[in-house]
Structure 1
Amino acid sequence: MFDRAVVAIALTAGPEHRMVYYNDAFRALFGDRPLGAPARTAFTEPGTERLLTTLDAVLADGTARQVTAHRTLACPSGTPAHRHFVYSCSPATTRYGPGILAAAIDTTAELHSALEAERLSAERLEALRRYEALLAAAAQMVWVARADGSVSELMPGWEEMTGQPFPEAADGDGWLDVVHPQDRAAIAARWAAAFRDRPAVFDHVFRVRGADGGYRHVRSRAVPVPHEDRGTEWIGTTRDIEDQWRGRLRERLLARAGAVTEAERAEDAFAALAATLVPDLTDVCAVYLLPGPDAADEGIVATRIASVARPGLPPLPPLDRQTFTLGAHARQAVADRAPTLLDFADGDVPDGAVPEISARWLHATRATSLTLLPIVVDGAVVALAATACCEGTPPPGPADIDLQHEILQRAQAPLRQALALQRARHAAVVLQRALLTTPPSLGGAAVAARYQPGSRNAEVGGDWYDAFTLPDGSLAMTIGDVAGHDLAAATTMGQLRAMLRSIAYTRGHAHTPAETLRELDTAAEGLGVGSFATAVHARLVRHGADGGWEMEWANAGHPPPVLVPADGPPRLLAAEDADVPLCVDPRRPRVTHRHPVGPGETLLFYTDGLVEVPGEHLGDGIARLCDAAAEARHRPLADLCEHLVGRVADVRDDIALIAFRPDPAERAGATGGRGRGRP
C-alpha cells in the first residue's frame, strides 16, 4: 500500500527500532538505508538524536508524536547538500512485535522558498532605507517652537498638506484637530513631556488629516536649543513619510501573511491571517466561511470561524461557529470579488452585513465603518473577511483597503491546504457517522449514545458503539476501538462491527459474549480483516419484575465499563485478568462476566478518548469520569452523555460513548413486568 505513496514511509520493529520496511519516497528523501539494522546504525548523520529520542518515546508510551518544526539531514550524493522534512511517528504492530510507523514529508522546497523570500525582503528593506536617506535631503517643513509657546514655520508646508493654517501656539489644542483620533493622546503627552524634560531629541510618528480628507503618516523631529535670555526653544522638521511607512508596513504584513503555515485547522489558518491586519490596518477582523465556491445568490449562509480585535476593545462574542444569511452588501462583495466599504455612524451596521451578535458588538464599540473583503483561493471565493474601525476611528482610505485585500490574498498555500484538510476530514467524519446507528427504543430502559470526532484534521478514528435487540428480546451492546486514525481504521471498524452484529444476532441465547468475541476474532483473522482492536460486548436481559436487568459481558482489552448506582460511588466492572485485545491471538480463551444492573443505575461503555490525557495514567482519567458521572447521575441519559463528552477540554482523540439505564423503580412498576428476556 505504501510502496508508491508520495509520503516517505518507514517501519521499525523492536526496542532497537530495526528497519523492516521503507518505500520509494523514503529512499528518495533519505537514500538507501540497511534493512534489519537498528535506527542508530542506519541513521548516523548529525542531528538524528531527536529522531531516536522520539522513536524511544513512542515505543515506550504508545502515543503518536508529530514533529512539525523543519528537521535537516545531509543526504546522498546527487541531491542538494541538505534536505529538510517534518515527520510523525505512530505505534504499530508488526510481525516482529511492537514497532513504529514513521511518515515524513519533504519540505526542502518550501524552506528554500521561505529563505529566498527573506533574502528578497532584506534587499527591499535596504532599498527602502536608501530611499529614506534620499528623501531626508529633500524639502520638508521646518518650524520653531519658542519658550513662550508661540510657533512659526521657517519652511512652510503644513497648510498645503493639511488644508489648515499652521498652529501659532505649541501649547494649544487646535493643532490636534487634524491629528488622527487614535494618535492625539500619545503625541500630546510626548510633546508636553519634551517641553518639561528637554530630551536630546524629540522624534514621533503620527497621522494627520490631509487636505483631501484622508490620513497620512508624518514624522516630526526636533531638538532643544537653550537660550540664557529667553529659555529653550525647539527647532524641528515635519515631513510626509506615508509612502515609506506604507512600504515598510506592506513588507512586514505580507511577510506575516506568507508565514501563516502548518495550521492544523482552517479556523487556525484564518485566525492567523486575520491577526496580520490587527491593529496596524484595522481595529477588528472577522472571517466568515462560505458554503461553496462563488455562491452569489440569495440565501447564502456563512459561518464565523475566526475573529481578532485590537487590545483595549471589549471582548469579542464567543467563537461558536455563528451562522448568518448574507445581506445585499455582503452578497455584492462576494459576487464582485472586490472590497466593499460601508460607512455609517454610531455603530449602525446595515442589516445582513455581519451576524446580529457581531452587529451588537460593533454598535457597542461605536464602529464608524465596515469593510467586506472576499478571500479568493484557486479562483473561487471561499470566505468573506469583515474589518471595522471602532470608537470613532475614521473609515479606512482606499490605500488601506487595497493593502488589507492584498494581505488576505497572500496566504494562498496555507489556506488551500487547511480547506482541503477540512473537507477531507468532514467527508471522513460523515462516513464514520453513517456507520453508527441510532440505539433502539426499549420498554423499561433507556439507551443513549454520543460520538465526537477528534480535533485533528483529515483524521477519523476506529471508535464505534452499537446497540440492537436480539431475536429473544435481549439487548446487545458494544463499544470498540480500532487502532489508527485514518480511513483504513474506519473501514476496519465497519467490518468488525458488521461481523460482530451478525455473529451476535444469529447465535442463540446460550451463546455467551465471550464466545461471540472469540468467533469474531477467528473470522477477522481468516478473512484478513485483522487490525489491533479493543472491545466490550455485552448482552442485557430483563431480570425479574422489579425493573432490574442482568448483564453478561466480555472485555477484549478495552477500558472497563462503569456502573453508576442511583446512590453511592460508581464501580468499575473490571476483571482481575483482562482478556487480550482482538486480532492478537484468536486461540486464547475469553471469559464472560455477569453483574446485575438495578433500576435507576447507569451503565457506561466508552472509548479512551473520553478519559485519556497524554502523559497521565489512564486510571486518573477513569476516576474523573466516575466523579463526573456521579455528579450528573440524575440527569436524563442523553443529557448525561452530552455532559460527559462536553467536559473534555481538548478533544484530540475520537470519543464514543454509549449508556444504558433501567427505568427507576417507580417507572418500572408502572410499566409492569414483561417477563425475563423481553425488554
Structure 2
Amino acid sequence: MSPARALDPKLFDATVAAVALFGGPDHLLIYVNAAYKRMLGARPLRRPAREAYPEPAAARFLSVLDDVLATGRPRQLTESLLPTPGGPDEVRHFVTSCTPVTTPVGDGVLVVILETTAETRALQRFEALVTAVSQMVWVVRANGDVEEIVPGWEKLTGVPLPDREGRDMYDHVHPRDREALVDAWHRALARRPPEIYQNTFRLRTADGSYRHMATRCVPIVRDGRAEEWIAATVDTEDTWNAELREHLLARVAQTSGGGLDAAFAAVADSVVPDLTDACVILLLSHEEWPLPEHATVTARRVASATRPGLPPAPAPMGQTVTVTPVMREVLESRVPRTFRLPSDGRVPPGLVPEVTERWLTASGATSMTLVPLVVDDIVLGYATTATSGDTPVPEPADVELLREVLHHAQRPIRKVLDLQQARRTALRLQRAQLTRPPAVPGASLAARYQPASPANEIGGDWYDAITLPDGTLVLDIGDVAGHDLGAATVMGQMRSMLRALAWNKGCDCTPAAVLTMLDDAAEGLDAGSFTTVVHTHLRRLPDGTWRMTWSNAGHPPPLLIPARGEPRFLDGSGEDPPLGVAPDFVRTTHAYGLAPGDTLLQYTDGLIETPGTSLDTGQRCLLRAAALHRDEDLPELLRLLQDLSDHRDDTAMIAFRAEPAG
C-alpha cells in the first residue's frame, strides 16, 4: 500500500478562510495563507507551534493540536480573541476546525478559521433584547423538541422545561385553558402557509397559583412549511387584571334604570364567570343600621348568577334566609372574608344558611367569600361568591377586585334607590287621588289602578267617580303625558279641577261643556299638560235603564259589554283632540242608553298598548277578553282584564254595571 500523498498547501492561497498547516510531532508551522495574515497577523514559519504561539491564550489551541495528531479525529474549537495593543478595540470571535492530514514533513493538522464576530454579536444582542423585556424565549422544532434561548420556565413553574413538547408542559396549564390551547396550537401547525400563532392562557406557578401568560410564536418557513417556531412568552397577569378591572367596572357602571332587584342581578352577572364561579346577592330586611342587638336578622335573596356547568342557584324570588352569626360579623366589620371549604364538600355548620349550604355542597365548592354591600355608609346586604372544581381559591388581590367592583356599583344602585324613592312618592300621591267609588243605587262600581313594573317610572293615569247633587253619576278616566313625579302632580291638579267643575256645573252642563271649561282653566292657570280624558254622566231613568252621555278628549273609547250581544267600543262620532292642544275646539257630547245588566268599562291606554303591536290588535284582545269574562263580578272582571297589560305602562280602569230590576 502506497503512502498517503502529502497535502499541497498552495491550494489554499486564494481561499477567503484563514488556513494554517502544521506538521510533525512538534506541530511545525509549515504554511499560513494571505487570509490568515489579514485576519490574525503573521506568524513565524518553520517554527514549532509553541514558539509560533507563545501567548498564554493559545494554550487551549495547542492542546487541541496535540489531541488531533494523537487520535486522528478532527476537532472544532470556538474562541474569542481579546483586544491587543494597537489592534481593533473589540473582542473578536472565531470557529476553528482542526483536521488530521499528511504533510511534507509527516502527519500534521490542517487548521481552517472562520471569523464569526458579526454572527455572535447579533445573537448576543438578540438574547439581551429578549432578556431585557422579561420574556421566556424558546425554539420549537418540527419534531417537537423544545430548547430555551432565554430561560425562565423553571423559575416560574418550579420544574425543568420538558425536552419534548407535550410531555408534561400542558400539565401546568389551567385545566379550563388546556384543551383550547392544544387545539389552537395543532391548528397552527397544520395551517398552510404557516402564520403567526398567539394565545393567552393561565399557567400554574411554583407556589401553586395561576398567572396569565401571553405567547407569540413566529414560524421559520422554508418551502412553504414551518421548519421551526421561535416562541416568546411573557407574564401578563398585571395587564390582564387591569383590563379585567376596567371591563368589570364598565359593566357595573351600565347598571341603571331598572328596579333594585334588576340592578343587583346585573351586578351579579358582571362578575360571573370572569371573577368568580357563582354570586348570590342578598338584601337585609332591616333598614336601620347598626343591626339591632339580639334580634333575628333576615335577608332576601334578590339576584344570583352561576357559570355554565354548575347547578343553578335556587330561584331568588321569595327566598328569605336568616343571617348567621358569622355573616353578621362580616357585615359589622364591613371587610370581605374568604373561607376555604373542606375537600369532602361538607360545609362547616353555622357558616351559611341551609339553602346556601346545600348548593355549595352540590356544586363542589372549594371556597366561599362574603362581601358586604355598602351604599352611602349603610350596609344594604351582602354578596356570597364561590369557586368550584378546578377554579383557584381567590387570592387577596382577587377579593379586593371583587370588593371594588361591588363598591363601584354604589353609584348606579344609589340611582336606582333614588328612582324608587321618587316612584314611591309619586305612587303615594297618585293613590291618594284615587278614592273609593261611591255606592250607587241600582248599579255597581269597581275601579283598579296598577302602576307600571318596577323597571319603569310612574305615570299620570287616574280614574274618578262622584255623585252630583241631582243624583247624576260622574265617571272620569284620564291620562296626563309623562312618567315622573311631575306627571303625577299634574294629574292631581287636573283631577281636582275636573271634579270641582263637575260638582259645580255638571248638573246644568253637558260633558263636552265641562271638558271645555277644564281646558280653559288649565291653560289660564298654567296648570295643564297634554291630557286625554273621557268625562261621562250617567242618569238612571224610571224604567230602570241608564242614560249615558260622554265627551272624549283624545282617549281610548269606552267599552260596552252588553248583557246580550258582543262587546263593542262606543266610538260615537269620533274622539275630540286631547286637552292642552286646541283650546277653541268645539267639543262633542255623545249619548247611549244602557240596559239592565250592561257593563261600561273605561280604561287607560296601558291596557291595550304593547310595543311592537298595533293599537287595533290590543283592542281586539280586549274585546275577546271582555266576552270571555263578561259574567264575572266587576272586581274579578277588572283583575282578569289586567292580565292583558305587559306592565310597561301604568293602567287605570273603572267599570259600571246597571243592575237588573228587582
Normalised by the shorter chain, which TM-score bucket? 0.5 to 0.7
Corresponding residue number in structure 1 for 2:275: 281
Corresponding residue number in structure 1 for 2:238: 243
CA distance in 1, matches of 2:150, 2:165: 17
TM-fit CA distance, 1:561:
0.7
Amino acid of the residue matched to residue 449 of structure 2?
Answer: R
Q: SS in structure 1 opposite 2:181?
A: helix
Corresponding residue number in structure 2 for 1:433: 431
Contact 2:253 2:408 in 1 (8 A): no
Amino acid of the residue matched to residue 427 of structure 2?
Answer: V
Corresponding residue number in structure 2 for 1:219: 214
Structure 1 residue ranges without an equivalent (≥5): 1-132, 675-679
TM-fit CA distance, 1:215:
1.9
Corresponding residue number in structure 2 for 1:58: none
CA distance in 2, matches of 1:371, 1:497: 53
CA distance in 1, matches of 2:195, 2:187: 12
Corresponding residue number in structure 2 for 1:397: 395
Q: SS in structure 1 opposite 2:532?
A: strand
Q: SS in structure 1 opposite 2:374?
A: strand
TM-fit CA distance, 1:161:
3.6
CA distance in 2, matches of 1:401, 1:560: 59
Corresponding residue number in structure 2 for 1:335: 332
CA distance in 2, matches of 1:139, 1:444: 88
- The yes-or-no answer on 1:605 pairing with 2:636 is no
CA distance in 2, matches of 1:640, 1:354: 46
Corresponding residue number in structure 2 for 1:497: 495
Contact 1:479 1:606 in 2 (8 A): yes
CA distance in 1, matches of 2:604, 2:524: 26
CA separation of 1:455 and 1:208: change in aligned 2, threshold 3 A:
same
CA separation of 1:621 and 1:176: change in aligned 2, threshold 3 A:
same
Corresponding residue number in structure 1 for 2:571: 574
- The yes-or-no answer on 1:210 pairing with 2:209 is no
CA separation of 1:150 and 1:134: change in aligned 2, threshold 3 A:
closer
TM-fit CA distance, 1:134:
8.4
CA distance in 2, matches of 1:296, 1:602: 53
Q: SS in structure 2 opposite 1:559?
A: coil
TM-fit CA distance, 1:576:
0.7
Amino acid of the residue matched to residue 425 of structure 1?
Answer: R
TM-fit CA distance, 1:625:
3.0
Aligned pairs (5 A) from 1:93-108: none
CA separation of 1:412 and 1:508: change in aligned 2, threshold 3 A:
closer
Q: SS in structure 2 opposite 1:218?
A: strand
TM-fit CA distance, 1:447:
2.1
Q: SS in structure 2 opposite 1:648?
A: coil
Across the two proteins, how many residue pairs are aligned to each other? 525
TM-fit CA distance, 1:319:
7.9
Q: SS in structure 1 opposite 2:434?
A: coil
- The yes-or-no answer on 1:625 pairing with 2:619 is no
Deviations 1:464-517 (A, max 9, x none): 113467788886533122344444442343344345556767899898766766
CA distance in 1, matches of 2:145, 2:327: 51
CA distance in 2, matches of 1:662, 1:474: 14
Contact 1:325 1:352 in 2 (8 A): no
TM-fit CA distance, 1:398:
1.8
TM-fit CA distance, 1:461:
3.1
Deviations 1:541-590 (A, max 9, x none): 77899xx8635241241321112346754201121154565576599576
Select between 289-298 and 418-427 the one with higher mean Cα deviation.
289-298
Amino acid of the residue matched to residue 242 of structure 2?
Answer: G
Amino acid of the residue matched to residue 208 of structure 1?
Answer: L
Contact 1:579 1:590 in 2 (8 A): yes
Amino acid of the residue matched to residue 576 of structure 1?
Answer: S
Corresponding residue number in structure 2 for 1:657: 653
Aligned pairs (5 A) from 1:342-421: 342-344=339-341, 367-382=365-380, 384-389=382-387, 392-410=390-408, 413-421=411-419
TM-fit CA distance, 1:339:
2.2
CA separation of 1:555 and 1:281: change in aligned 2, threshold 3 A:
same
CA distance in 1, matches of 2:547, 2:206: 84
Corresponding residue number in structure 1 for 2:449: 450
Aligned pairs (5 A) from 1:496-535: 496-498=494-496, 500-501=498-499, 533-535=531-533
Corresponding residue number in structure 1 for 2:181: 187
Q: SS in structure 1 opposite 2:211?
A: strand
Deviations 1:91-110 (A, max 9, x none): xxxxxxxxxxxxxxxxxxxx
Aligned pairs (5 A) from 1:69-88: none
Q: SS in structure 2 opposite 1:480?
A: strand
Q: SS in structure 1 opposite 2:271?
A: coil
TM-fit CA distance, 1:158:
4.4
CA distance in 1, matches of 2:324, 2:609: 45
CA distance in 2, matches of 1:348, 1:544: 79
Select between 497-506 and 477-486 the one with higher mean Cα deviation.
497-506
CA RMSD of aligned residues (A): 5.1
Structure 2 residue ranges without an equivalent (≥5): 1-127
Deviations 1:605-658 (A, max 9, x none): 11123334679865554344334444555666545434544443461x432122
**TM-score normalised over the length of structure 2:** 0.62
Deviations 1:349-387 (A, max 9, x none): 899999999888777765544433334344334464444
CA separation of 1:551 and 1:425: change in aligned 2, threshold 3 A:
same
Q: SS in structure 2 opposite 1:243?
A: helix
Contact 1:517 1:554 in 2 (8 A): no
Amino acid of the residue matched to residue 207 of structure 2?
Answer: D
TM-fit CA distance, 1:390:
5.0
Q: SS in structure 2 opposite 1:497?
A: helix
Q: SS in structure 2 opposite 1:376?
A: strand
TM-fit CA distance, 1:245:
2.7
- The one of 464, 474, 486 equivalent to 1:466 is 464
CA distance in 1, matches of 2:472, 2:618: 31
Contact 1:553 1:593 in 2 (8 A): yes
Amino acid of the residue matched to residue 591 of structure 2?
Answer: H
Amino acid of the residue matched to residue 652 of structure 2?
Answer: A
Select between 418-427 and 286-295 the one with higher mean Cα deviation.
286-295
CA distance in 1, matches of 2:499, 2:534: 13
Percent identity over paired residues: 46
Corresponding residue number in structure 1 for 2:5: none
Deviations 1:118-159 (A, max 9, x none): xxxxxxxxxxxxxxx988525655666676667676776545
CA distance in 2, matches of 1:370, 1:597: 69
Deviations 1:291-312 (A, max 9, x none): 6475645555656666565567
- The yes-or-no answer on 1:561 pairing with 2:555 is no
Amino acid of the residue matched to residue 658 of structure 1?
Answer: I
Corresponding residue number in structure 1 for 2:45: none
CA distance in 2, matches of 1:496, 1:156: 81
Amino acid of the residue matched to residue 446 of structure 2?
Answer: V
**TM-score normalised over the length of structure 1:** 0.61
TM-fit CA distance, 1:326:
4.6
Deviations 1:5-59 (A, max 9, x none): xxxxxxxxxxxxxxxxxxxxxxxxxxxxxxxxxxxxxxxxxxxxxxxxxxxxxxx
Deviations 1:447-466 (A, max 9, x none): 24132237776x54331113
Q: SS in structure 1 opposite 2:335?
A: coil
Contact 2:506 2:514 in 1 (8 A): no
